[in-house]
Amino acid sequence: MIAFETLRVFCGADGRHGNALAVVRDGAAIPEEGDRLAAARRLGFSETVFVDDAVGGVIDIYTPTARMPFAGHPCVGAAWLLGPAQLSTPAGTVRVRRGGEFTWITAPAAWSTGRTLRRYDSAAEVAALAVPPPGEWIYAWAWQDEAAGRVRARAFPGRGDGIDEDEATGAAAMRLTAHLGRDLTIHQGKGSQIVTTVGPDGTIGIGGRVRSVAGAQALPDGPNAS
């Protein structure tokens, strides 16, 4: 049996919400990129992580339609689950630390490209948005309290892969933090929370709460990707 576990990443203060993440601990059981993509598609999560070396923190990240060099919520979830000193992704090395109830990763802001920041006048306006049509990765945001660095946000990947809205997104939060040049507390989706910090070296720290949803479950059967 090839097994996966389910986490929720960037949970709210009450431990609810967060973005679901599938983690396949035994990455060696699915070594080929095409087969990993097919498995991620069958699972249907916004991202799935395959662990190639748990001790060394070597991971491989997939959406239902593509391999990702880096993504924030999979890295935070994998860091919490595996407990490594750092993660190794196709984009490069991600630093890991823990602080109280939060698990943190630190990565270059330049890794967060490909997302359009779209500012609105109020948190209520962001909350009322309809899902836009596929075609553009949009991070909609507005200040809740500018002086305190509190933001209301929603994320629309626009890939046309069944993930119309991401409940919580690390790389998009990284991009907004780099754009604004200040630490943020982001309330995203229905009730998720992401905290960010600006580093002195062009990096951004992303932190959040992680909860386990389910232990090992059998990966659903299905055809391999062509």
Q: Are residues 214 and 199 in the same domain?
A: no
Residues 6+ apart with CB under 8 A from 108: 92, 202, 203, 204
What string of DSSP letters covers 1-43?
--EEEEEEEEE-TTS---EEEEEES-GGGS-SHHHHHHHHHHH
Q: Which domain holds residue 176?
A: 111-209
Helices 170-180, 72-82: axis angle to 10 degrees equals 120
Q: Has residue 172 been placed in a domain?
A: yes
Q: Has residue 117 been placed in a domain?
A: yes
Q: Are residues 32 and 58 in the same domain?
A: yes
Specify the pTM.
Answer: 0.95
What string of DSSP letters covers 158-224?
--SSS---BS--HHHHHHHHHHHTS-EEEEETTTEEEEEEE-TTSEEEEEEEEEEEEEEEEPPP-PP
Q: Is the pLDDT of residue 224 over 80?
A: no
Q: Has residue 97 been placed in a domain?
A: no
Q: Are residues 115 and 204 in the same domain?
A: yes
Q: Is the pLDDT of residue 49 over 90?
A: yes
C-alpha span between 80 and 144 (Å, rounded): 29
Summary mean pLDDT of the chain: 95
C-alpha span between 180 and 9 (Å, rounded): 23
What CATH number does residue 136 fall under?
3.10.310.10
Look at the chain and report how many structural domains it folds into: 2
Express each pLDDT in 131-175 by its tens digit.
999 999 999 999 999 999 999 999 999 998 989 999 999 999 999
Express each pLDDT in 83-136 by its tens digit.
999 999 999 999 999 989 999 999 999 999 889 999 999 999 999 999 999 999
